[in-house]
Amino acid sequence: MDSFLPTLIALVAAFLFALSAHVQNVGLESADTRAGTIVVVGATAVFYWLAAPFLVPAAYWLTWATLLFAATGLIRPTLTMVLWVEGIKRLGPTLNSGLAASGPIFSATFAVLILGEVMTLPIAIGTAAVVTGVLVTALRRSGSVMTFPAWAILLPLGAALLRAFAHAITKIGFAEVPSAFFAGLVGTTIGFVMLLGRFVVLGHHLDLRSRGHKYFIAAGLCNALAIYLLNKALQIGQLITVAPVLSLSPVFAMLLGLFVFGRETLTWRTLITIALVVPGVMLITLYR
């Protein structure tokens, strides 16, 4: 059972990230994206700090791992969100999401080069199947033709690379402080401080009367749980096998939109995606 546990935890994390996105989308019907992002990340940080006195020994703060976990907060969500938003602006959401599906490839590279993990043929085939399945979900007909500079493709690729690098840094930090909660606490706090600073500097304002904030707070709770489970999967599992499973979040978002929120319809893309990702995850899990 222990060999399947990281995959199971990563699957639940991917599902919660997808659920958070849908809940946040409901909130965006009565609030803007910038305010929603601040409230979601802020709520996530608050949930961590409410539990911190019971779960974080004071000695953790005096370790090098604190700096490593803080670095992940600078990378994700701060830098990755800037690249993500700019990628949507330059490329559109369809192509931007499709290129971002390359994340497991970068994770595998860092896992082998930095962490010394071993890539096997079944894991490689499973990763390729999962990436292809996510691409089928992400790359949908947009109904319009867009022109963009060639360098713009580096935006979503850069975001995917930085996320993968953040996972590798987190794994290194766990060698000194094996606490998924502490990693989430530090990273989320730094990320919120950076995003809030940018929000204020750019002159944006938060409308506390918005009805959407209750959905953003609920999304923040989903995020807090998802980040903890993501870190737990990384702590007890290998990056090379956990990352492809985490990348299934867009697939879960599609399924939630189909069966729960009524925002999707059953298409051939849905069936192809399921036919690719299910065997892919099974290969990664069985031959880890």
Confidence (pLDDT) at 70: 96
Q: Is the pLDDT of residue 158 over 70?
A: yes
Q: Is the pLDDT of residue 130 over 70?
A: yes
* pTM (whole model) above 0.75: yes
More confident residue, 100 or 8: 8
Confidence (pLDDT) at 286: 75
Confidence (pLDDT) at 271: 81
Q: Mean pLDDT check: name the lowest of 48-52, 78-82, 146-150, 281-285.
A: 146-150
Q: Mean pLDDT check: name the lowest of 18-32, 43-57, 78-92, 216-230.
A: 78-92
State the Cα–Cα distance between residues 79 and 286, nearest whole angstrom.
Answer: 35
More confident residue, 139 or 10: 10
Residue range 197-208, pLDDT digits in tens: 988 888 878 776
Confidence (pLDDT) at 91: 73
Backbone phi, then psi, for 35, in 5-degree steps?
A: -65, -40
Confidence (pLDDT) at 151: 81
Token pair 């958070």 is found at: 20
Confidence (pLDDT) at 145: 47
Confidence of residue 51 (pLDDT cuts 50, 70, 90): very high
Burial 143-168 (b: 16+ CB within 10 A, else e): eeeeeeeeebbebbbbbbbbbbbbbb
Confidence of residue 288 (pLDDT cuts 50, 70, 90): low
Per DSSP, the residues of the chain read -TTTHHHHHHHHHHHHHHHHHHHHHHHTTSS-HHHHHHHHHHHHHHHHHHHHHHH--GGGGGSHHHHHHHHHHIIIIIIHHHHHHHHHHHH-HHHHHHHHTTHHHHHHHHHHHTS-----HHHHHHHHHHHHHHHHHH----SS-----GGGGHHHHHHHHHHHHHHHHHHHHHTT---HHHHHHHHHHHHHHHHHHHHHHTT----TT-TTHHHHHHHHHHHHHHHHHHHHHHHHS-HHHHHHHHTTHHHHHHHHHHHTSS-----HHHHHHHHHHHHHHHHHHHT-
CB-count exposure of residue 214 (10 Å: 0-12, 13-18, 19+) = middle
Confidence (pLDDT) at 217: 93
Per DSSP, the residues of 158-218 read HHHHHHHHHHHHHHHHHTT---HHHHHHHHHHHHHHHHHHHHHHTT----TT-TTHHHHHH
Q: Mean pLDDT check: name the lowest of 24-33, 108-117, 250-259.
A: 24-33
Chain centre to alpha carbon of residue 120: 25
Q: Is the pLDDT of residue 285 over 80?
A: no
Backbone phi, then psi, for 9, in 5-degree steps?
A: -65, -45
Confidence of residue 227 (pLDDT cuts 50, 70, 90): very high
Question: For the chain, what percent of residues have pLDDT higher than 90?
Answer: 44
Mean pLDDT of the chain: 86
Confidence (pLDDT) at 94: 61
Peptide bond into 244 cis (omega under 30): no
Confidence (pLDDT) at 112: 93
* Residue 115 structure tokens: 């962490």
Q: Is the pLDDT of residue 146 over 60?
A: no
More confident residue, 164 or 211: 164
Chain centre to alpha carbon of residue 112: 21
What are the extents of the domains in the chain?
5-286
